[in-house]
C-alpha cells in the first residue's frame, strides 16, 4: 500500500514526539535559585520530595555531605533544634530552623569564620559564594531581620583555595616586576627615559623646522603662512627631513622662482576669498533691506516714489540687485575693483542716504514699466487728471494683466484667488521655467531631473487680461459703481459672497476676487 505525504508526515511526527524526552523543569534551574526557593518553604518534606525526583537532585540535596541544604532534609518543622547533634557540617549551616530557634551557627571542622580577617573586602573580591546566614529566620520575619548579620562563614576548602590563589598571584606579580627591572637594567637606556627622550626629540625637531622656516621667510620677505603652504618648499623640507639634513642657504636659489610663483598665486587666492566673503556679506544685507522694504517695516519705505503715502512698488529681487545704487552698495567679487571708502555714507546700506538713492533708482525703473502698461490699458500718450478723486488707470481694479511666458493662472501665492496680476503684482512677478523631467535609466532610477530656472524679468512679456476686465466691469455695472472711483475697492470688498454665476447649473455664490478669476 502506497503511503501519502500526509500519512508519512503524521507517522514521522508521532515517532519524533515519542522519542523526545520531556524537559525537566527543576534541573533546568540553577542550583542556587532552587536552593533559595526550597529554603523559603521551611518544609523538610518538600525538600525530600524534590530530592526524590531525580538522581541529580538526590545527590545534590541528600547525599552531598558538604551541601548547605542537607540539614533541611532531616529536620521537621515542629521539632526541637538539634543544631549541635547534627552529623554533617553542611547541616550545621542550614537555614530552615523552627521559628523559636535563635541559636546561630558557629565555626566547625568544615567551616571557618573569616569576618575579622576579611574586614568586608572579601564579599566583593572572593569568587566562591559564602554559605548561608549564621542566623535562623523564617519567612514571616524576613522583612524585619537584617541578613546577613555581619558574619561571614566560608568552607575551609574554599578559604584555603582562595589563599593559595592570592599567594600565587602575588608571587607572579613580584616575579614580573623583577624581570622587567632586570631587562631594563641590561638595556642601553631605561624604558621611561627612552620614551621621554623620544618625545623631547620630536618636539625639538618640530620647533627647529619652524624656526628655520621663519628665518627663511624673514630673510626673503615672504609670508610665513604662505611659505608653509607652498608645495615646492614643503617637498624640499620633507626631502631634507628624510635625509636627516637641514635646509641651507644654497638650497633656496634654485627654487626661488618657483616658490615666488606659488606665493603670488596664494596671495591672489587669498584676495579673491576676502573679496568674495565681503561680497556675500553685502549681498545678504541687500536681501534683508529688500525684504524690509517689501514688508513695509523700513521707515523710509512707507512712502511712495513721489512722496505720497502710497506703498512702495518694488521690482523682483533679481532686478533690484541690478539697480545702479544697489550695485554700488553690494560691491563686486572682483578683488581688482576698488571698493568704496569705508567712511562714506553711501557705503552704509542702512543709512538714510543709501535708501534714498535706492528709492530714486526704483522710481527711474518704474517709468518705462508704467508707460508700457498704460499703453496696454489704452493710454499710449499718458494720463493726467486734475481731480484727486479719480484713480490712476494702473491703480484701478480693472488694471489686470497676465504673463505670456507663464500663462493665465500661473501667478504668485498672493494672487492665487484672483488668478491675475495687478500693477504691483506685475512688478514683483517672477517667471520660472518648466522643470526638466527626469529620465529613468536601466536600473529603474530617475536621473537628469532639475528644478525650473528663474527667467529674466521683461515688461514686454505682460498683456492685458481681457476676460478678467470684462467680468469686473459687469460686476461694477450691477452695483452701479465706476472703475475710476477711489472708494470702489472698499465697496466690492463689502459685498462679500453675494455674486452668483449664471453660467453654472448650480447656485454658486462667490465674492469679488473669486468671481474675477472665473472667465465669462
pLDDT at 247: 81
Q: How far apart are CA 22 and CA 508, in angstroms?
A: 79
Residue 365 has pLDDT above 90, yes or no: yes
C-alpha cell at 351: 543709512
pLDDT band at 23 (very low <50, low <70, confident <90, very high): low
pLDDT at 368: 92
pLDDT at 503: 76
pLDDT at 342: 55
Residue 114 has pLDDT above 50, yes or no: yes
Q: How far apart are CA 374 and CA 401, in angstroms?
A: 11
Q: How much is the average pLDDT of 276-296? A: 88
pLDDT at 149: 52
Higher-scoring residue by pLDDT: 46, 440: 46
For the chain, give the percent of residues with pLDDT over 70. Answer: 68
In the chain, what are the domain boundaries? 31-163, 205-271, 273-367
pLDDT band at 371 (very low <50, low <70, confident <90, very high): very high
Residue 73 has pLDDT above 70, yes or no: no
pLDDT at 171: 92
φ and ψ at residue 281, rounded to 5 degrees: -65, -45
Q: How much is the average pLDDT of 273-300? A: 85
On whether the pTM is more than 0.75, the answer is: no
Higher-scoring residue by pLDDT: 32, 75: 32
Residue 102 has pLDDT above 60, yes or no: no
Q: What is the DSSP string of 192-252?
A: HHHHHHHHHHHHHHHHHHHHHHHHHHHHHT--HHHHHH-HHHHHHHHHHHHTT----GGGS
CB-based contacts of 440-449 (< 8 A; 24+ apart in sequence): none
Question: Which of 109-118, 223-232, 300-309, 425-434 has the lowest average pLDDT?
Answer: 300-309
- Asked if omega into 148 is within 30° of 0 (cis), the reply is yes
pLDDT at 99: 41
Q: How much is the average pLDDT of 91-114? A: 51
Residue 86 has pLDDT above 70, yes or no: no
Higher-scoring residue by pLDDT: 5, 362: 362
Q: What is the DSSP string of 325-355?
A: HHHHHH--S-TTSPPPPTT-GGG-TTSHHHH
pLDDT at 206: 55
Give the highest mean pLDDT range of 300-309, 370-379, 401-410. 370-379
User: Apex CA 34: angle with CA 30 and CA 38, to 5°?
Assistant: 170
C-alpha cell at 165: 590563589
- Over residues 460-483, the pLDDT tens digits come to 889 998 888 888 888 888 888 888
Q: How many CB atoms lie within 10 A of CB 56?
A: 13
φ and ψ at residue 156, rounded to 5 degrees: -65, -35
pLDDT band at 299 (very low <50, low <70, confident <90, very high): low
pLDDT at 310: 64
Q: How far apart are CA 517 and CA 512, in angstroms?
A: 9
pLDDT at 19: 52
Higher-scoring residue by pLDDT: 288, 92: 288
C-alpha cell at 510: 462667490
Mean pLDDT of the chain: 74
Closest C-alpha among 71, 76, 136, 78 to residue 103: 136
Strand 462-464, strand 401-403: pairing: antiparallel
148 Cβ neighbours under 8 A, 6+ residues apart: 133, 134, 135
Residue 459 has pLDDT above 80, yes or no: yes
pLDDT at 344: 57
pLDDT band at 347 (very low <50, low <70, confident <90, very high): low
- Over residues 189-222, the pLDDT tens digits come to 544 544 544 554 455 455 556 777 888 888 888 8
Closest C-alpha among 327, 365, 363 to residue 346: 327
Closest C-alpha among 318, 331, 329 to residue 355: 329
Residue 138 has pLDDT above 50, yes or no: no
Q: How far apart are CA 356 and CA 293, in angstroms?
A: 12
Residue 288 has pLDDT above 50, yes or no: yes
Question: Which of 2-16, 64-78, 160-174, 209-223 has the lowest average pLDDT?
Answer: 64-78
Amino acid at each position: 500500500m502506497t503511503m501519502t505525504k500526509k500519512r508519512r508526515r503524521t507517522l514521522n511526527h508521532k515517532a519524533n514526539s515519542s522519542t523526545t524526552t520531556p524537559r525537566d523543569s527543576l534541573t533546568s534551574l540553577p542550583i542556587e535559585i532552587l536552593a533559595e526557593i526550597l529554603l523559603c518553604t521551611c518544609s523538610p518534606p518538600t525538600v525530600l520530595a524534590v530530592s526524590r525526583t531525580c538522581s541529580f537532585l538526590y545527590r545534590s540535596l541528600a547525599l552531598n555531605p558538604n551541601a548547605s541544604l542537607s540539614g533541611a532534609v532531616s529536620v521537621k518543622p515542629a521539632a526541637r533544634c538539634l543544631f549541635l547533634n547534627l552529623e554533617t557540617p553542611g547541616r550545621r549551616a542550614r537555614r530552615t530552623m523552627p521559628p523559636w530557634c535563635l541559636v546561630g551557627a558557629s565555626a566547625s571542622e568544615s567551616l571557618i569564620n573569616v569576618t575579622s580577617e576579611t574586614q568586608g573586602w572579601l564579599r566583593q573580591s572572593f569568587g566562591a559564594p559564602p554559605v548561608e546566614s549564621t542566623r535562623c529566620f523564617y519567612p514571616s520575619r524576613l522583612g524585619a531581620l537584617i541578613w546577613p548579620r555581619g558574619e561571614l562563614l566560608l568552607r575551609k576548602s574554599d578559604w584555603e583555595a582562595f589563599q593559595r590563589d592570592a599567594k600565587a598571584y602575588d608571587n607572579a606579580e613580584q616575579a614580573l616586576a623583577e624581570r622587567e627591572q632586570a631587562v631594563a637594567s641590561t638595556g642601553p637606556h631605561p624604558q621611561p627615559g627612552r620614551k621621554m627622550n623620544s618625545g623631547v626629540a620630536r618636539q625639538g625637531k618640530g620647533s627647529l623646522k619652524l624656526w628655520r622656516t621663519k628665518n627663511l621667510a624673514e630673510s626673503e620677505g615672504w609670508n610665513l603662512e604662505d611659505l608653509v603652504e607652498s608645495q615646492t618648499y614643503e617637498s624640499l623640507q620633507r626631502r631634507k627631513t628624510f635625509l636627516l639634513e637641514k635646509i641651507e642657504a644654497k638650497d633656496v636659489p634654485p627654487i626661488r622662482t618657483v616658490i615666488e610663483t606659488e606665493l603670488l598665486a596664494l596671495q591672489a587666492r587669498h584676495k579673491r576669498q576676502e573679496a568674495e566673503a565681503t561680497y556675500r556679506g553685502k549681498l545678504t544685507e541687500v536681501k534683508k533691506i529688500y525684504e524690509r522694504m517689501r514688508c513695509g517695516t523700513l521707515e523710509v519705505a512707507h512712502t511712495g516714489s513721489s512722496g505720497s503715502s502710497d506703498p512702495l512698488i518694488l521690482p523682483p529681487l533679481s532686478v533690484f540687485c541690478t539697480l545702479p545704487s544697489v550695485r554700488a552698495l553690494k560691491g563686486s567679487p572682483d578683488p581688482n575693483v576698488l571698493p568704496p571708502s569705508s567712511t562714506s555714507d553711501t557705503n552704509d546700506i542702512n543709512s538714510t542716504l543709501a535708501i534714498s538713492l535706492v528709492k530714486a533708482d526704483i522710481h527711474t525703473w518704474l517709468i518705462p514699466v508704467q508707460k508700457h502698461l498704460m499703453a496696454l490699458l489704452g493710454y499710449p500718450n499718458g494720463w493726467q487728471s486734475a481731480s484727486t478723486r479719480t484713480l490712476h488707470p494702473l491703480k484701478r481694479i480693472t488694471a489686470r494683466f497676465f504673463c505670456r511666458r507663464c500663462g493665465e493662472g500661473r501667478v504668485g501665492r498672493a494672487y492665487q484667488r484672483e488668478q491675475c496680476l495687478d500693477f504691483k503684482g506685475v512688478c514683483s512677478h517672477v517667471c520660472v521655467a518648466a522643470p526638466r523631467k527626469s529620465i529613468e535609466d536601466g536600473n529603474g532610477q530617475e536621473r537628469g531631473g532639475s528644478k525650473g530656472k528663474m527667467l529674466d524679468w521683461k515688461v514686454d512679456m505682460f498683456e492685458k487680461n481681457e476676460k478678467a476686465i470684462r467680468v469686473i466691469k459687469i460686476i461694477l455695472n450691477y452695483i452701479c459703481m465706476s472703475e475710476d472711483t477711489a472708494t470702489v475697492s472698499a465697496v466690492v470688498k463689502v459685498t462679500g459672497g453675494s455674486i452668483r454665476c449664471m453660467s453654472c447649473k448650480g447656485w454658486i455664490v462667490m465674492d469679488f476676487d473669486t468671481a474675477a478669476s472665473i472667465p465669462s
